[in-house]
A and B are shown apart, each in its own frame.
Chain A
Amino acid sequence: MSDLIDRDTARRAGLFVAYDTPDFFCELMNRKDAPPDSLALVRERLSHFDLPELRQRAGAAEAELYNLGITFTVYTDRDAIDRILPFDLIPHVLTAAEWDHVERGVRQRVTAINHFLWDIYHEKRILKDGIIPAELVLGNPNYRPEMEGLDVPGGVYVHINGTDIVRDGDGRFLVLEDNARTPSGVSYVIENRHMMLRVMPDLAAGLDLMPVDEYGLRLRHALAEVAPQGVTDPQVVLLSPGIYNSAYFEHVFLAREMGVPLVEGRDLVVESGRVYMRTVAGLRPVHSIYRRLNDDFLDPQVFNPDSMLGVPGLVDAYRRGNVTIANAIGTGVADDKAVYAYMPRIIRYYLSEEPILSNVDTHICAEAEGLAYTLANLDRLVVKPVGESGGYGLIIGPHATQAELDDFRVKLLADPSNYISQPVISLSVCPTLCEAGVEARHVDLRPFAVTGRSTWVLPGGLSRVALRKGSLVVNSSQGGGSKDTWVLAS
């Protein structure tokens, strides 16, 4: 084929000339059936961009992120406190029907998790009924005996939840993981939308996208709703570990969106079982704390005694019902990777409903059957340590060398209950601007649910994209980027 013809073909086919993903589900390009009109329109508009144009806009977006310091710290990069979470300017698009399904599924899951947490810190019915092994819950390092018998306002433990969702080769939504401790990433959802509308206004023009701007207000209302009883005008604060935390940018963002003070542990003081913040006018009462600090660091009198980040006496104030902590202490037991395997049963147990969103098939290596299956199929499975997050310490069988598999087998046998295994999902893909052009990259989705008196789900969520070709790991700590998530309202 001559160069001339090649270029001519390229011009007619536009941006997607080399884009081909027969093996994967792609929201935009390969839905296995005809795309809805609104989606076809996005695709049509995108195809009219040429590569230099798209790159020029990507450059503008990157410069803006750099100047704004919208960044994500990576612990291994000691020199730079700031690093940009790469932003890809081709959106991840969901239809209204798809979103309806995801939203209902997320709401159902969060409701079940809150029932579960109330139960295990009170009557423990689910353990007595043998639905889930008692040891798995009570022996879990994230189970906090300090929470037993404490009646949290509204029965809400998980006020902010992030549900990691993927789509398989048929486009089916599957829950990969629950994040019920201090899930991060929501600021990128909102900032990505702002960036998108600035850099790609012609792509979004006239489309009916569901808005993401109300997150801060919703969150503040929810936190006010769960404030201790009898407080008419509750003071909400966001508790951050400080400027060196990887998510500090997000803490600032949320504090501003909510219109509440961003405090550090040293700004708070507990006197007579009540929490105050140190202001230039003296001590001011605090009623609801959105904490972005792990349980271990909250109160050196109760947890890690060496922690300088927390507030001595905070747990005592909490147990006396004088302050609300969101998320509650001890929610980590609900998003544990081993407990995850029981989530469909947990949903059925408390809600008498079938799960709207399915789990990925999960084998629990703590159980003899699960371990045997995992060992026999190591080269075909993803095996994850249950206690880690951020994509650390896992092995993807089909991508591993024999030596790596052998090493891992030893680790697994040494501590089987630390692992679960899952089949490798043929993750869905999204067109993504890469060095060689627009190529398919794997994506996932983390919708955020906010729960006060009721549960509200932010339309869309954080779309993470694995920027390395073929990579299945989307975590920002492992070289992932993010995309704007569009939920089409109609």
Chain B
Amino acid sequence: MNPIIVDAPPADGTMPILLSRYAECTIWLARYMERIENLARLIDVTETFVRSGSTMNGWQSIIQINADEDRFFARHADATEESVVGFYVTDRENPNSIASIAHAARENARALRPLISTEMWTQLNIFTNTVRALSATDIRSSNLSALCARLKQECQTHHGITEGTFYRDQAWLFYLIGRNLERGDQITRLIDIKYHTLLPSVAGVGSEVDIGQWTAVLRSAAAYHAFRRVVSGEMTPGAVAGFLLKNDGFPRSLSTCLRQLHWAVGHLRTDYGLKHGYAAAERIEELRATLAEQTVKDIILRGLHEFLDWVQRELRHVQGEIAQAFWPPMEPPPPPAPAQSQSQA
């Protein structure tokens, strides 16, 4: 697709210009910060699982979620707490560690410095410096929960500062697109991995242990109280998965992420005349419809894992279509598969 040449900026000069590169960096900044928060949540809940002694090799599940088996086992013989936590928090050789992602977030923020507020930059800079200074002591199991809480809080601080200071133009919409793409992706990964590790045998389902585990999953997504408030009756795996997938009021549910994603892509068109996003918008609509027209029971019956896998693939296509629309390669013609130029966990 050839970019359209706009001959002159609008006469009133009100239409802010957004470089394609800035849009791309904005999406990735949002994704990386969201990814760090989710990783911290995951480590936290895994630590809880393992401490309660009820899961077979809980640490391995983080490696599965991130599809890092090859990279991890090339370096470590066993998935122990020490090796996994080191791998995902401080190991700079691992592109999916918090230290690496924080670095990548800061590099994107550095490219965006002409755009973002000084407060956003300063907090990110301090955060990245802190993360990169973490030592083996900081990630010992006695400190781990506190560390995860701190990491989550820093990410939330970032979101808060961004909410409060980031100028509202197209860049803000791209930021929301990045955040919701990542959040939607991560919630499906969390459900996928936990659903299966928590269903080791038919006998275990519905037992005391099982309920405790699902409580922990909900807590890791900050969903426990909301779930209790709105879902009456038993805490079944189906009810939990259904809540995390389809509850429209919960900010981290898949349906909420998709709704906000759709909203942001739609506003690129209505508020800024950026019509190229139609392919991504259509795909999101399709995703939303597919999610809305099935009950969670249907989804589980047809195969939860396959469904979640499909959602993740569709979200990757959305990212690819947005890239194609707003930062198309100049030459040669675009490859058929949607490309994601930065690392995807």
Contact = CB atoms under 8 A, between A and B. Distances in A.
A243 B110 contact: yes
Contacts of A271: 5
Given A69-B121, A256-B114, A278 B21 contact: yes
Contact of B114 (A233, A262, A280, A284): A262
Given A280-B170, A283-B5, A248 B110 contact: yes
A458 interface: no
Contact of B5 (A261, A280, A282): A282
A414 interface: no
A235 B21 contact: no
A261 B125 contact: no
Interface string A67-99: 111000000000000000000000000000000
B149 interface: no
A11 B20 CA distance: 61
A242 B112 CA distance: 11
A31 to B, nearest CB: 39
A231 to B, nearest CB: 10
Given A67-B122, A248-B110, A252-B113, 10 more contacts: A68-B121, A69-B110, A278-B327, A280-B170, A280-B327, A281-B272, A282-B5, A282-B6, A284-B17, A285-B7
A264 interface: yes
Interface string B1-31: 0011111110001010111110100000000
B339 interface: no
B20 A280 contact: yes
A204 B321 CA distance: 55
A198 to B, nearest CB: 13
A277 interface: yes
Interface in A249-265: 252, 255-256, 261-264
A281 B274 contact: yes
A252 B268 CA distance: 26
18 contacts: A67-B122, A69-B125, A243-B107, A243-B110, A248-B110, A255-B114, A261-B19, A267-B20, A276-B5, A280-B18, A280-B268, A280-B272, A280-B326, A281-B4, A281-B6, A281-B274, A282-B6, A284-B6
B110 A279 contact: no
Contact of A280 (B23, B111, B125): B23
Contacts of B118: 68
B111 A243 contact: yes
Interface in A44-75: 66-69
A248 B114 CA distance: 11
A12 interface: no
Interface in B182-239: none
Interface string B28-45: 000000000000000000
Interface string A166-200: 00000000000000000000000000000000000
Nearest 9 A/B pairs, CB to CB: A282-B4, A252-B113, A262-B114, A282-B3, A280-B326, A278-B20, A283-B5, A69-B125, A255-B114
B133 interface: no
B21 A267 contact: yes
Nearest to A254: B114
Contact of A279 (B17, B111, B122, B129): B17
Interface string B317-345: 00000000011001000000000000000
**Range for the number of chain A residues in contact with chain B:** 20 to 34
A334 interface: no
Contacts, number: 83
B125 A68 contact: yes
Contacts of B122: 67-69
B126 interface: yes
**Range for the number of chain B residues in contact with chain A:** 35 or more
A279 B17 CA distance: 7
Contacts of B121: 68-69
Interface string B157-199: 0000000000000100010000000000000000000000000
A266 interface: yes
B273 interface: yes
A313 to B, nearest CB: 12
Contacts of A235: 9
Contacts of A282: 3-6
A113 B121 CA distance: 40
A33 B113 CA distance: 47
B18 to A, nearest CB: 5
B280 to A, nearest CB: 13
Contacts of A255: 114
A269 interface: yes
Given A233-B13, A285-B7, A279 B114 contact: no
A3 B18 CA distance: 66
Interface of B: 3-9, 13, 15, 17-21, 23, 107, 110-111, 113-114, 118, 121-122, 125-126, 129, 170, 174, 268, 272-274, 326-327, 330
B8 A278 contact: no
Contacts of B4: 281-283
Nearest to B11: A233
Contacts of A283: 3-6
A278 B125 contact: no
A279 B13 CA distance: 15
Contacts of B273: 281
Contacts of A66: 129
B8 A266 contact: no
A67 to B, nearest CB: 5
A66 B13 CA distance: 36
Contacts of B268: 280
Contacts of B3: 278, 282-283
Contacts of A264: 21
Contacts of B326: 280
Contacts of A277: 17, 19
Contacts of B170: 280
B19 A278 contact: yes
Contacts of A252: 113-114
A285 B8 contact: yes
With most chain B CB atoms within 10 A of its CB, the pick from A243, A252, A264, A279 is: A279
A235 B223 CA distance: 49
A417 to B, nearest CB: 42
Contacts of B330: 269, 278
B105 to A, nearest CB: 13
Contacts of B129: 66
A252 B273 CA distance: 28
A130 to B, nearest CB: 49
Contacts of A233: 8-9, 13
A233 B8 CA distance: 9
Contacts of B13: 233
Nearest to A276: B5
B274 A280 contact: yes
A282 B272 CA distance: 12
Contacts of A280: 18-20, 23, 170, 174, 268, 272, 274, 326-327
B5 A263 contact: no
Given A69-B121, A235-B9, A279 B107 contact: no
Given A67-B122, A67-B125, A256-B114, A263 B6 contact: no
A57 B268 CA distance: 47
A264 B19 CA distance: 10
